[in-house]
Amino acid sequence: MSELLQLLLESEEKSDFRSFLSDLRLQETRYWLRNDIINVYSDYCSKYQKSEQFCTASNLGKLIYYTQEIIQEEYSFCFIIRPTIASQEVYRVTEELEIIPMTVQELLDLRDRFVNKFHPQDGYLLELDFGPFYDYSPTIRDPKNIGKGVEFLNRYLSSKIFQDRNEWLESLFDFLQLHHYNGVQLLINDRIKSQKQLSAQVKKALGFVSGRPKNESYEQFRFDLQMIGFEPGWGNTAERVQETLSILDELIDSPDPTILEGFISRLPIIFRIVLVSAHGWFGQEGVLGRPDTGGQVVYVLDQAKSLEKQLQEDALLAGLEGLNVQPKVIILTRLIPNSDGTMCNQRLEKVHGSENAWILRVPLREFNPNMTQNWISRFEFWPYLETFAIDSERELLAELQGRPDLIVGNYTDGNLVAFLLARRMKVTQCNIAHALEKSKYLFSNLYWQDLDDKYHFSLQFTADLIAMNAANFVVSSTYQEIVGTGDSVGQYESYKCFTMPDLYHVVNGTELFSPKFNVVPPGVNENYYFPYTRTEDRVESDGVRLEEMLFTSEDSSQIFGKLDDPSKRPLFSMARLDRIKNLTGLAECFGRSKELQEHCNLILVAGKIHLEESGDNEEREEIIKLYHIIDEYNLHGKIRWLGVRLSKTDSGEIYRVIAQRQGIFVQPALFEAFGLTILEAMISGLPTFATQFGGPLEIIQDQVNGFYINPTNLEETAEKILDFASKCEQNANYWSAISQAAIKRVYSTYTWKIHTTKLLSLARIYGFWNFTSRENREDLLRYLEALFYLIYKPKAQKLLEQHQHR
């Protein structure tokens, strides 16, 4: 990037650069983000009648494209430039157009001065730098391979085995000796006493099973293999045992990444999994649409059922049927005594449709019962996490009759609990963030002191740093969740370098090139969400009832609006009412377009319709705003707003009812980390328009199986939807073509079977990696504990003291 700057200053564009900086000085703001920079540059090009070629292809145009932030000081500008994904360069540009590189520390100091210009920081701040702790770990070089951590790790481990064969085979031998189920030894017994003997005995066992009928049950020759040194876990038939032993034999003789993954992925070493979803209304009925629920509850429940099913299949294939293996999945959440008629006050609840998956609810310690016996917002939950983890450990040990094999955290609070549990129980830890709040709220770290009373970002971002660095592996739904796109910063990337003025500087908050990051998108529950054309699986009476509710019924107090012409094409969206989900933005988009109103009705299934029924401040604000938009644009007769809680069955059928009327689904979020509703709509057969900010960019292939929209550009969004509706009216097959392409996209990529198979493979590989490098992680974990006890815990205690007076 320094070469581009040099070219700029040596060319005729130098005067344009100077002129552009002069225009910046005339602006009211002194801190510009990328969209602001592009807008100012666009205005500059228009003002001086610059050609399109100059705007995009000039050195100045290229510099503007790569610039993420500009900060104006008294006599200079600071340019924060992102030349490639997951990289950053910082330069000071003086009045004389001298370019001076800046260090990370200088940038963080500048940001602090910007915030505290009237109260400059005295002394030094704590600096957090996790970089040195990743020296033990291999590092990915090419940004394209970020999110493919396990593939890289397999190659690395295989090369290590090849380079230092004896040491790594010794580690593999020790790893195989570790595993048992309810006290029964698995894989190898003490008749095999060394890695050298293991190699010989593998060949001996292969010779034995190769002579047996392929379909012969493992139980028929179990004791023969035990005499050679091999316990249950290699396969359920002679053929399966031979396959697994052959893979091990090949791995010992000629290590290869694919062989390593294939072998470790087959091993029956995971039987008990804990999924942590700590804060919200977590239940199976009556919770969707409540604050802090929705996508998370759906995701975790579906994941739990799919994991249990996959564990059962794996145990059967491994030949463990004779041991009466019963894999168990526990969803760990909090018990809410005042549960508002839901099951959230029940300690234990079986997950519907499972054999051994359970919701385990652990109560918070009393402290102030006015707080702890009720639902607590995710923004206020921080003081209770440590004691919740301590109490949960005891409950989990009792329910599982031992330690879990894997702990998976969900969201920031769940991930911090997962860290505390994994640290105490010495278990492999997986993080799933879903959505990191830091990316949602602009300048949330810079102005944390102004926002802390409401959002407590100081606790949240500290918890994120601890959990994401402690995790053995991190699962993201999309690549851009980690490192964004060519022109936008990823959620995890935003933790790389930032300041929280007067609290600490983060010089290196996460190693984006670490092989711990893996993209494993979730699936969609095919029992509830399936194509509208599968009429044999639909319940006709449900369809009739929901169609009346959506379009014509006037009986419910939870429905606002009567449609003048219910036969118009439905424009449909379903989400909770909060600022980020932006349903009010969709309503305004619809309200501004008279043409769109002529073609479509707007149908919203969203939270509550009565202000007094909501206890969530943000939801209340959105309810007021939506009523205001309806009145401002006179949408009466053109909109239906349903404030209803739906079962999964009804939720799935609503998509199909809309699809049957050749409707359109719109997901207008200002940012969407992934977008389960997008998958649900697409698999139902609904042509889908979804935000271009976040995960939908990787789900939808624009104009092939769906469409991107910029929800901040209301006119453009309306034009895109209108254009689609017009094409459908002109060509009867166009709607069906997009519908079928959407269905195909989901089935090929986004099923829970694909997700859980990959997740369990990751857990086994990282479990092996964790075992072989456990001593090298201790320094990192100690550092994280210091951060927890010295920064997080004192601030959590202060918040707890506030809660005790409520």
- Which among 480, 787, 29 has a CA at the least distance from the CA of 40? 29
CATH 3.40.190.10 fits 146-177+188-230+234-266, yes or no: no
pTM equals 0.86
Indicate the pLDDT class of residue 123, thresholds 50, 70 and 90: low
524-550 confidence digits (pLDDT tens): 888 899 999 999 999 989 999 999 999
CA–CA gap between residue 212 and residue 202 (Å, rounded): 16
Class of domain 535-750: alpha beta
Residue 76 three-state SS: strand
Q: Report pLDDT for 109.
A: 93
Structure tokens at 483: 């490192």
Query: Residue 280 and residue 376: Cα distance in Å, rounded?
Result: 7
Strands 504-508 and 498-500: antiparallel
Per-residue confidence band for 58, with pLDDT thresholds at 50, 70 and 90: very high
Percent of the chain whose pLDDT exceeds 70: 99
Place of tokens 């029940």: 346
Distance of alpha carbon 667 from alpha carbon 213, whole angstroms = 55
pLDDT digits (tens, 9 = 90+) for 491-532: 999 999 999 999 999 999 999 999 999 999 988 888 899 999
φ, ψ of residue 791 in degrees (nearest 5): -115, -55
Q: Checking DSSP bridges between strand 559-560 and strand 517-519, what pairing results, if any?
A: unpaired
Enter the CATH code of domain 272-481+515-523+762-771+778-803: 3.40.50.2000
The residue-averaged pLDDT of 750-761 equals 93
Q: What is the pLDDT of residues 381-440, one digit of tens each?
A: 999 999 999 999 999 999 999 999 999 999 999 999 999 999 999 999 999 988 888 887
Q: In the prediction, which pLDDT does 775 show? A: 60
Q: Answer yes or no: is pLDDT of 118 > 60.
A: no
Enumerate residues 6+ apart whose C-beta is below 8 A from 195: 166, 169, 170, 172, 173
Torsions phi, psi for 452 (to 5 deg): -65, -35
The token duo for 31 is: 């801190």
Give the tens place of pLDDT for each residue, 174-192.
999 999 998 899 999 999 9
Q: What is the DSSP code (8-state) at residue 337?
A: S
Integer CA distances (angstroms), 611 to 20, 34, 350, 617, in order: 48, 37, 34, 10
C-alpha torsion 680→685→690→696, nearest 10: 60
The class (CATH top level) of 2-102 is alpha beta
pLDDT of residue 158: 78
Residue closest to 323 by CA, chosen among 209, 173, 222: 222
Question: What was the pLDDT predicted at 266?
Answer: 94
Please answer whether residues 302 and 523 qualify as being in contact, where contact means their C-beta atoms are separated by less than 8 angstroms: yes
What residues are paired with 779 via a beta bridge? none
Q: Count of residues for the chain? A: 806
Average pLDDT over residues 323-346: 95
Backbone phi and psi for residue 207, each to the nearest 5 degrees, phi listed first: -60, -35
Domain regions of the chain by residue span: 2-102, 146-177+188-230+234-266, 272-481+515-523+762-771+778-803, 535-750
pLDDT in tens, 439-464: 878 899 999 999 999 999 999 999 99
What distance in Å separates the CA atoms of residue 672 and residue 401, rounded to the nearest whole number?
A: 39
Contacts of 130 (CB under 8 A, 6+ apart): 465, 469, 508, 509, 510, 511, 780, 783
272-481+515-523+762-771+778-803: same fold as 2-102? no
**Beta carbons within 8 Å of 196's beta carbon, 6+ residues apart:** none
